[in-house]
């Protein structure tokens, strides 16, 4: 009986500590993202891509692509400034556990199993900027596919930093019907290589 009570106490304590840590991370990320309209721009782009792909009139479709180019450039600019600002935060606050589940103080207990989310955001900023400028010379449809993958992977990183990799992957699948593996496979090769080198796998 005493062992059972002890196990319950340990579990409750771990849950409280984990919740406090996640609340701190959410507040930190929110305080930085709140300065920009990144989420709104992402929504506009996603809706615009769907509208464009469903447009039968070639002239009208070209007009929509043109408007989306402007939105992509604005998003790339804002995310670039966000990544630069987040890059000035102390590393002690930005280490992120690679473990699949959230554990309290995992970034300090297992420092070798962590990555610096500031570097991940820098990778995303470059990937989004390259997609916006069409660095790969893709068709509009393929460019939209690559940009969507870059944005989905960036969202995954945000949720990973705030919660855990498992939660981030579940949210990506629920929100966009896209697995983490598929998002990673669909970004630009330079993004994929740099991201894998940083987080592993």
Q: Which of 2-16, 47-61, 123-137 is predicted with the least confidence, judged by mean pLDDT?
A: 2-16
**pTM summary value:** 0.89
| Whole-number Cα distances in Å, 175 to 36, 52, 122, 167 | 22, 21, 24, 12
**Whole-angstrom distance, CA of residue 158 vs CA of residue 177:** 17
Q: What is the CA angle 177-104-96, rounded to 5?
A: 55
C-alpha neighbours within 13 Å on the C-beta side of residue 34:
6
Between 59 and 91, whose confidence is greater?
91
Torsion of CA 142, 145, 151, 155, to 10 degrees: -160
Average pLDDT on 34-55 reads 90
Q: pLDDT tens, 110-137?
A: 667 799 999 999 999 999 999 999 999 9
Which of 66, 64, 70, 72 lies closest to 48, judged by CA? 64
Q: pLDDT tens, 166-188?
A: 999 999 999 999 999 999 999 99
**Whole-angstrom distance, CA of residue 132 vs CA of residue 134:** 5
Q: Percent of the chain, pLDDT > 70?
A: 85
**Whole-angstrom distance, CA of residue 56 vs CA of residue 162:** 41
């Amino acid at each position: 009986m005493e062992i059972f009570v002890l196990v319950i106490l340990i579990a409750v304590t771990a849950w409280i500590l984990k919740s406090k840590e996640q609340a701190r991370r959410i507040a930190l990320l929110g305080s930085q993202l709140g300065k920009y309209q990144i989420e709104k721009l992402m929504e506009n782009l996603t809706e615009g891509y769907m509208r464009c792909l469903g447009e039968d009139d070639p002239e009208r479709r070209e007009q929509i692509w043109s408007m989306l180019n402007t939105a992509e450039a604005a998003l790339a600019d804002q995310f670039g400034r966000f990544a630069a600002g987040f890059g000035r935060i102390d590393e002690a606050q930005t280490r992120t556990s690679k473990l699949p589940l959230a554990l309290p103080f995992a970034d300090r207990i297992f420092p070798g199993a962590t990555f610096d989310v500031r570097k991940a955001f820098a990778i995303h900023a470059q990937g989004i900027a390259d997609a916006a400028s069409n660095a790969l010379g893709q068709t509009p449809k393929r460019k939209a596919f690559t940009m969507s993958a870059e944005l989905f992977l960036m969202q995954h990183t945000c949720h990973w930093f705030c919660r855990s990799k498992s939660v981030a992957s579940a949210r990506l699948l629920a929100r966009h019907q896209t697995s983490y593996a598929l998002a990673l496979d669909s970004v630009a090769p330079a993004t994929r290589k740099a991201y894998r080198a940083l987080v592993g796998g």
